[in-house]
Structure 1
Amino acid sequence: MLDLMRLFSQVVEEQSFTVVARKLGISQPAVSNQIRAFEEKLGVKLLYRKGKGFALTSEGETVYRHTLQMLDEWSELMREIGGSERVMNGKVHIGASHIPGEYLLPAYLASFRNLYPEIKFKLSIGDSLEMAEKVLTHEVDFAVVGAVFDTEKLTSDFWLKDELACVFSSDHVLSLSQSIELNQLKDYPMIIRESGSGHRRAFEEALMRSGSDLNDFNIVLEVGSTEAVKNAVRSGIGYSFLSKHALESGEKQGLVWMNVQNFNLERGFYLLTRRTKHLTVIAEECYRYLTSQKSEVGG
């Protein structure tokens, strides 16, 4: 019955038998048959056709509400008994944008795995928007991203603070400056991250607060990852703005970073889940562990 309840909640959330079937790796008729079996067990009709889609009957709305409550209670029960090795094993699939995925999460996951050695991980890395979509489509259990996604179906929980700094190659004409202002940068070639990244969004918002926008700058290259930005800056194509988490050994690698006067480039990293998240026991425990590590201090 619990499996039928999970399936029913997924169908309601996705508003599509086909989408749910694809995610579960089964046929669409199989999903329809299981929903029909759920209706037969309860003795009520849960869904009715509405245009090209479907809607909940009044009984379906009641069942859906109680289904969510019962799934939450089941998750709580499993968390309370989750200390046993019998339960705490399996795989957690986490989505992450580039900075948390490449520079932060590996250390945190290693610490978590010291607590639960039987747990394995899959880490998918992409831009923040891509990871938000993966959370929505249940392709990952949850995600860690550099942008807020508070929508009808998604919720974001602050995790860690990040700060972006201006980065030059060590032989750039501005690399020896004692201080720089935003206006000084406008004529020099600039490298930026792609649209959809939390990094790009944070940079554009900071420019807006300062009364500028990207059109004021000489953008010569747009790239899809932090490492690509670093390598492009190092090669002398132009300067950029990067997370300080990615620049701990920047000067040794031919990079020099500095803050820009009166230009605040702080942002946050966020734990991203579905509002009606029904995480597995181990995914929930991992999420809770990361939440416990949240900090206001950038690194």
Structure 2
Amino acid sequence: MFDLMRLFAQVVEEQSFTVVARKLEISQPAVSNQMRALEEKLGVKLIYRKGKGFALTQEGEIFYRHTKHMLDAWSDLIQEIGNSERVMSGKIHIGASHIPGEYLLPTYLASFRVLYPDITFKLTIGDSLEIAEKVLAHEVDFAVVGAVFDTEKLTSEYWLKDELALLVAKDHPLSSEHNTNLHTLQAYPMVLRETGSGHRRAFEEALVKRGLDFNNFNVVLEVGSTEGVKNSVRSGLGYSFLSRHAIVHGEKLGLVELTVDDFKIERSFYLLTRRNKSLSGIAEECYRYLSNQKPDQITV
């Protein structure tokens, strides 16, 4: 019965049989059949068709409310049992934006696994907005992202700082300069991260403070990953601003860093969880471990 209740709650929250079927990797008719089976067990109608979608009956609203209470209580019970026994095994699914996912988390997860060798991980990487949506949809246990998402259903905890530095290729016309300025940069091709990334949002906010936006620059390429930006800069497509965490020993990679007069791009990374929702015992332990690291020293 609990499985049917979980499925019902997912259908109500997603407002789509198709979306739930895709996430569970089953067919849409299978979801519909399960909903009918639940209604037959209860002897009442829970949902009815409304236009292209559906709505809850009065009985459906009552059942959903109690279902949420019961599922939350069950989750709390399992966590307390797990915490009391300290069974530190299983898989933790973490979401991350590109910089923490590619350059920071692997080291910390390796250290954490030394403490708990029976734990395994799944790491899903995407832009900050995409990963926040996965936290909200319960597709990951928690996440590390480059933007704040403090909402009714999500909460962010500061983890560490980051700074974006200007990089050009070794043969770029500006490579022999120690510093430049925003006006000069407007004459040269620029490479950007894609919309939705915390990286791009931080860059955009810094430009706004100077009365500028991306329309003032010659953007020739938008890329979906930090490595893609780095390789594009190295190949001569244009300059870009990159996280210092991603450019350690950058001079060995065919890149040159320049300072920009009166312009600094700083941002932070945050641990992201669902508000007022408990993590499993192992996920909570991993979250606390990362939270306690606070590695705020940036080295280049």
**Displacement, 1:185?**
1.5
The one-letter amino acid of 2:71's match is L
1:165 is paired with a residue whose SS is: strand
Name the structure 2 match of 1:118: 118
Aligned-pair identity in percent equals 73
**Displacement, 1:191?**
1.8
**Displacement, 1:121?**
1.6
TM-score (ref. length: structure 2): 0.82
Verify the 8 A CA contact 2:167 2:242 in the aligned structure 1. yes
Q: Tell me, in whole angstroms, the C-alpha distance in 2 between the residues paired with 1:288 and 1:59.
A: 41
Verify the 8 A CA contact 2:206 2:265 in the aligned structure 1. yes
Runs of 5+ in structure 2 lacking a partner?
none
The one-letter amino acid of 1:51's match is G
Q: Tell me, in whole angstroms, the C-alpha distance in 2 between the residues paired with 1:142 and 1:60.
A: 30
**Displacement, 1:280?**
5.0
Verify the 8 A CA contact 1:95 1:124 in the aligned structure 2. yes
Q: How does 1:210-221 map to 2 (within 5 A)?
A: 210-221=210-221
2:82 is paired with a residue whose SS is: coil
Name the structure 2 match of 1:106: 106
Q: Tell me, in whole angstroms, the C-alpha distance in 2 between the residues paired with 1:57 and 1:285.
A: 41
Task: Give CA deviations for 1:222-247 in whole Å, capped at 9, x if unaligned.
Answer: 32221222223233333210011112
1:248 is paired with a residue whose SS is: coil
Q: How does 1:167-186 map to 2 (within 5 A)?
A: 167-186=167-186
Whether 1:47 and 2:47 are equivalent positions in the alignment is: yes
Moved more, 208-217 or 124-133: 124-133
2:174 is paired with a residue whose SS is: coil
Name the structure 1 match of 2:263: 263
Name the structure 2 match of 1:10: 10
Name the structure 1 match of 2:147: 147
Moved more, 62-71 or 192-201: 62-71
Q: Tell me, in whole angstroms, the C-alpha distance in 1 between the residues paired with 2:298 and 2:63.
A: 45
Q: Tell me, in whole angstroms, the C-alpha distance in 2 between the residues paired with 1:244 and 1:102.
A: 13
Name the structure 1 match of 2:19: 19
Q: How does 1:220-239 map to 2 (within 5 A)?
A: 220-239=220-239
Verify the 8 A CA contact 2:158 2:271 in the aligned structure 1. yes
Name the structure 1 match of 2:254: 254
**Displacement, 1:262?**
2.6
Query: How many pairs align?
Result: 299
TM-score (ref. length: structure 1): 0.82
Runs of 5+ in structure 1 lacking a partner?
none
Moved more, 111-120 or 75-84: 75-84
Moved more, 221-230 or 126-135: 126-135
The one-letter amino acid of 2:192's match is I
Whether 1:77 and 2:85 are equivalent positions in the alignment is: no
- The 1:36/1:221 distance shift into structure 2, 3 A limit, reads closer
**Displacement, 1:206?**
1.6
